[in-house]
Amino acid sequence: MSTSQASPQSDSSNVEVRMRAVLERQKQAHIREGAPSAELRIDRINRAIGLIVDHKDEICAALSADFGYRSTDQSIMSDVVGSLGGLRDAKKYLRKWMRPERRSAMFPMNLAGGKARVEYQPLGTVGLITPWNFPMAMTFSPLAGIFSAGNRVMMKPSEYTPRASELLARMFSSAYDENEVAVFTGGPDVGQAFSALPFDHIIFIGATAVGKHIMRAAAENLVPVTLELGGKSPTIIGRSAAMQMSTDRIMNGKMLNAGQICLAPDYVFVPKGSEEAFVSSAKHSVAAMYPSLKDNPDYTSVINQRHYDRLQGYISDAQSKGARIVEINPANEDFSQQPAHKIPPTLLLDVTEDMKIAQEEIFGPLLMVKTYSGVDEAIDYINTHPRPLALYYFGEDKVEQSRVLNRTTSGGVAVNDVMMHVAQEDLPFGGVGASGMGSYHGHDGFKNFSHAKAVFEQGRRFDLGRFMRPPFTPRLRKILLSQVKR
Ligand code: NAD
């Protein structure tokens, strides 16, 4: 069993040669061995589950070291338990998913005993490119679909989490032949060479801007892509919403992983006049969860200096252009001296469109608070911006809720909560427009990583085709013309 990880010294052309060779071997193995049995798929899934269970402590330690500080409980929740759910679900249902699906044969072929079905075939080798924010969950969650559909996989984890990426390379090389799974570590240069490979499918999880490069590279080989991207996920608090319950859930979503979540609420719309109620309620929610922040073991750091500076830049840019900044710092701690890059949750009010924070995905513990007079104002704002990955509505007004849901298009929606739709394995997870294309999780993941092959079996009851073969007869014409009607 050989490891496919690139040492930091290896130059990218060397890695490229090795990646091409592994892909070629995986393709040959797929052709030679054909679609794997359900038992082999389950075995691959079991090995993945075993890796997570056996390495849970190492996983949490690597993630904390990579982030500067990351809550162990949060890592257990998001990257350990969060990685297991999809794999277990796939194991349970994959035999059912693998069954051919009967479809209806068309008249008149059905009369002759013609039969139609869809058979789900593995695609072959899937290329998986992952981000740094949940290095394990973003790897194992798509693997559930990739393995259940019978594929092999090559992965390129993020350079921002070097320890977690090295751990992934080590874990997979200990449990899989590289003909089944191969991990290549490295930065954007390795990512670029990786996305130019003639995979059977690429799934990219990362930023919208990088997603465009991936799609361009994949287009050269006509490789289909699933793009799981980011963006600005809006939240609307309706007039009928219970404010404290809403801020408890919103601030939890904003502070988990220090807001470094593709699904984190990016901005919140509150009814005009409710801003102060929102601010005081949000302060209360934060203090209840995090009486202090700086040394609180539950509160995670911003990943690195670059992202810390980016987020501080949003605050100073907004402040200089007239925004009101409300830092929520329950214990009044001094954040100017600290070993990690922790940023207290910060609300930004009176934000205008010329501010950077209004234009870019926040991806950190900052939240813009906007106001609306009528809910259509919030809907119109959302519709003049790129389609988001998620949208959240809080309130009890069903008419308003369906107006918001019907008039906006987002990858997914949670009502009276944030982000929890991602935890429903039976719902497709994916974006739309600028937030991505294609979806996975559960049965949708199985289908996303399968080729739905159409199979038609001609009936033997009588040779229907003889009417359709030349020489064409007046009878055929009569039959055909009988079909030309409204
Ligand atoms: P990123 O796009 O910068 O990097 C993701 C991966 O792509 C990394 O492995 C990186 O090395 C690689 N990469 C970078 N440039 C590349 C290039 N030119 N060609 C090929 N590969 C390249 O994203 P990130 O900073 O790691 O993660 C944050 C982003 O990911 C946010 O926008 C967030 O919303 C998004 N995200 C989306 C989801 C989702 O499921 N939709 C989940 C997590 C994160």
Tell me the per-residue pLDDT of 234-247, one tens digit each, with 9 for 90 and over.
999 999 999 999 99
pLDDT of residue 1: 36
Domain-embedded: residue 431: no
Confidence at 4, pLDDT banded by 50, 70, 90: very low
Number of domains in the chain: 2
Tell whether ligand 1 has an atom less than 6 A from the beta carbon of residue 162: no
Residues constituting the chain: 486
Q: List 451's β-bridge partners, or say none.
A: 121
Residue 5 has pLDDT above 80, yes or no: no
Domain-embedded: residue 74: yes
Same domain, 174 and 223: yes
Distance, in Å, from the CA atom of 110 to the CA atom of 56, rounded to the nearest integer, reads: 55
Same domain, 210 and 319: no
Cα 127 to ligand 1 centre (Å): 14
Same domain, 383 and 306: yes
pLDDT of residue 461: 80
Same domain, 141 and 17: yes
SS3 string of the chain? CCCCCCCCCCCHHHHHHHHHHHHHHHHHHHHHHCCCCHHHHHHHHHHHHHHHHHCHHHHHHHHHHHHCCCCHHHHHHHHHHHHHHHHHHHHHHHHHHHCCEEECCCCCHHHHCCEEEEEEEECCEEEEECCCCCCCHHHHHHHHHHHHCCCEEEEECCCCCHHHHHHHHHHHHHHCCCCCEEECCCCHHHHHHHHCCCCCEEEEECCHHHHHHHHHHHHHCCCCEEEECCCCEEEEECCCCCHHHHHHHHHHHHHHHHHCCCCCEEEEEEECCCHHHHHHHHHHHHHHHCCCCCCCCCCCCCCCHHHHHHHHHHHHHHHHCCCEEEECCCCCCCCCCCCCCCCCCEEEECCCCCCHHHHCCCCCCEEEEEEECCHHHHHHHHHCCCCCCEEEEECCCHHHHHHHHHHCCCCEEEECCCCHHHHCCCCCECCCHHHEECCECHHHHHHHCEEEEEEEECCCCCCHHHHCCCCCCHHHHHHHHHCCCC
Q: Which atom of ligand 1 is nearest to the CA of 131?
A: 26
Mean pLDDT of the chain: 95
Q: Which residue's CA lies nearest to atom 8 of ligand 1?
A: 158
Domain-embedded: residue 464: no
Same domain, 172 and 72: yes
Same domain, 336 and 446: no
Question: What count of other Cβ atoms lies within 10 Å of the Cβ of residue 201?
Answer: 24
For ligand 1, pick from 205, 226, 266 the residue to mutate: most ligand atoms within 8 Å of CB: 205
Domain-embedded: residue 260: yes
For ligand 1, pick from 12, 129, 213, 216 the residue to mutate: most ligand atoms within 8 Å of CB: 129
Q: Which of 16, 178, 228, 361 is catalytic?
A: 228
Q: Active-site residue 60, yes or no?
A: no
Same domain, 444 and 394: no
Distance, in Å, from the CA atom of 73 to the CA atom of 71, rounded to the nearest integer, reads: 5
Q: What is the CATH number of the domain that holds 299?
A: 3.40.309.10
> What is the C-alpha radius of gyration for the chain, rounded to an integer number of angstroms?
26
pLDDT of residue 3: 42
Q: Which residue's CA lies nearest to atom 31 of ligand 1?
A: 207
pLDDT of residue 468: 81
Confidence at 12, pLDDT banded by 50, 70, 90: low
Indicate the pTM of the whole model. 0.95
For ligand 1, pick from 262, 304, 306, 308 the residue to mutate: most ligand atoms within 8 Å of CB: 262
Q: Active-site residue 228, yes or no?
A: yes
Tell whether ligand 1 has an atom less than 6 A from the beta carbon of residue 210: yes
Residues spanned by the domain of 306? 234-426
Q: Which atom of ligand 1 is nearest to the CA of 262?
A: 34
Same domain, 261 and 408: yes
Tell whether ligand 1 has an atom less than 6 A from the beta carbon of residue 188: yes
Tell whether ligand 1 has an atom less than 6 A from the beta carbon of residue 229: yes
Domain-embedded: residue 194: yes
Q: Terminal CA-to-CA distance of the chain, rounded, Å?
A: 64
Cα 309 to ligand 1 centre (Å): 19
Same domain, 240 and 219: no
pLDDT of residue 11: 64
pLDDT of residue 6: 44
pLDDT of residue 108: 83
pLDDT over 90, % of the chain: 92
> Considering Cα of 305, then 306, then 307, then 312, what sign does the dihedral take?
positive
391: CB partners within 8 A, 6+ apart: 233, 234, 235, 236, 382, 404, 405, 408, 410, 412, 413
336: CB partners within 8 A, 6+ apart: none
Q: Which atom of ligand 1 is nearest to the CA of 159?
A: 11
Tell whether ligand 1 has an atom less than 6 A from the beta carbon of residue 363: yes
Domain-embedded: residue 465: no
Q: Which atom of ligand 1 is nearest to the CA of 230?
A: 34
Residue 271 has pLDDT above 70, yes or no: yes
Same domain, 66 and 189: yes
pLDDT (mean) for 98-121: 94
pLDDT of residue 267: 98
Q: Which atom of ligand 1 is nearest to the CA of 206?
A: 30
Same domain, 399 and 351: yes
Domain-embedded: residue 93: yes
For ligand 1, pick from 15, 133, 429 the residue to mutate: most ligand atoms within 8 Å of CB: 133
Residue 8 has pLDDT above 90, yes or no: no
Tell whether ligand 1 has an atom less than 6 A from the beta carbon of residue 262: yes
Cα 73 to ligand 1 centre (Å): 24
Q: What token pair was written down for 460? A: 């033997």
Tell whether ligand 1 has an atom less than 6 A from the beta carbon of residue 206: yes
Confidence at 109, pLDDT banded by 50, 70, 90: confident
Q: Rounded to whole angstroms, what are the CA distances from 448 to 194, 390, 400, 418?
A: 20, 20, 33, 25
pLDDT of residue 206: 98
Q: What is the CATH number of the domain that holds 182?
A: 3.40.605.10
Same domain, 251 and 174: no
